[in-house]
Amino acid sequence: MSFRPRYSQFLTGTVLLPLLIACGSSDDGEDPGTGGTGGATSSTVSGGTTSSASGTSSSGTGGAGTGTSGSTTSASSTGGSDATTGTGSGTGGAPAGGDTELTGIETPGADCTVPSLPAFGELRANDKLPDPFTMMDGTKVTTRAQWVCRHREISEMVQHYETGPKQVKEATVTGSVAGGKLTINVSGGAQDVSFAVDITLPSTGTPPYPALIGLSGGSLNNNRLQQMGVAIINYNHNGVQPEGNRSGGIFSKFQGNADSGALIAWAWGASRIIDALESTPDAQIDPKRLAITGCSRNGKGALMIGAMDSRIALTIPQESGSGGVAAWRVSEVDNMGRTGSSGVQNLSRTYGEQQWFSKTIEQFGSAVTKLPLDHHELVGMVAPRGLLILGNLNYEWLSTNNADQAGGAARMIYEALGAKQNIGYVDSGHTHCGTDYAGGEQAAIEAFVKKFLLEDASASTDIWKPKNELDKAKWVDWTAPTLP
């Protein structure tokens, strides 16, 4: 099988998405690393990420089962480069014949030109949530092709100002499956690295199955999802990069000296899992029906993963708090007058808690309004794909209002793309990262899974139940176009 995944190559001087990947609560500490075995042949490419697996393939069979067959299988493929290199001045629109696809490739807009991004001292303060529909050169977005390039700009801004780069070194990815484990081998960087994920196949359905990839296994009702025909993939993201150590995981070993935080490293690892799934059919997973979910700090990771890889069909960030769905600007205002550990987490407190972000974001701790983006745009990067945001009213530090405002603004992006029904939101009070929901969350989860993973067109995802609606007068001074 041959394919050409697109990814974001970090542009010097610049800033810059199906499987259910689940991220569970990581409040209990890091997961132990997961080792993988099994051989896989690799192919080398220049300037791109190639996923390959080689050897004999066996046909999957339906029926009940846990894991995969005991035999080791692999396949081999090559692909060309999709990376964009260099910098230049933007024109505000997609290039001739530009990419208007927002799904099915890792990074939309790889053929778009992204201008150099301003240094901190050149940025102007803006108390409002920044306009997602104005290009960096001031051009207003009026077409879908222009939005693809704006999507790329937002991606580069997130990486430049907040997370550090997702992709520094060119990568060749191979996958092999044995005994219920998918081993992912990545070569071409400072060091060759590998990691493995556990796959539990559902008790119903026919392969290839849709899947839920879970950071630390996820915090949703996985038993119910398996009954619905969804496989569960356990992603040990802390083995890719521990949140408390920038140089302690395989991401830093592969990339070398990159000032990248844990969230973008987890996104890199998830993309490599998808690469391997695309070329390892014996895993019995359909890479076009993938989802990502996680809770708390892993909810932040789930959102980042869903935003940074457009191959993911459904994203479910749960209780992600500040640094996740919540808008930095709203968090700052809502935190004013608070002392100590009371109140919501603002940018400076979030940065100080763990190494989720790059060191670059620290300079905005006392100047949040100078950030040229906010997290309504990060959330909006998931559009028009499936997105279900789950909140929790019982914990002030989870920043309910801040997430509600960002979610409401992101919904305007979905509406502009004609996909308002693809974004859902539920707030209620319950145990942190628990399934004792009180607001209809389980019904919402099942509706989104039916629509985006099981391809049930009759499933209704018109679900919008935040505690607070978007206060446009306070936070929005722009309008959303209709993008043909």
- Which 8-state DSSP code applies to residue 162? I
Which secondary structure element, helix H or strand E, spans residue 470, and what is its range? none
SS (H, E, C) 293-345: EEECHHHHHHHHHHHHCCCCCEEEEECCCECCCECHHHHHHHHCCCCCCCCCC
Beta strand segments in 314-440, E: 314-318, 386-390, 423-426
- Rounded distance between C-alpha atoms, residue 234 and residue 337, angstroms: 41
Give the torsion sign (CA, 67, 72, 78, 81): positive
Q: Give the active site residues.
A: 296, 432
The C-alpha angle with vertex 351 and arms to 345 and 356, in degrees rounded to 5, equals 115
Bridge partner list, 187: 172
Q: Which two tokens stand for residue 13?
A: 């001087």
- Rounded distance between C-alpha atoms, residue 447 and residue 38, angstroms: 37
Angle between helices 262-278 and 297-308 (to 10 degrees): 50
At 414 the three-state DSSP class reads helix
Q: Render 215-251 in DSSP notation, one character per residue.
A: EBT-SS-HHHHHHTT-EEEEE-HHHH--TT-TTSSHH
- Rounded distance between C-alpha atoms, residue 273 and residue 173, angstroms: 9
- Rounded distance between C-alpha atoms, residue 306 and residue 310, angstroms: 7
- Tokens 């209620």 belong to 428
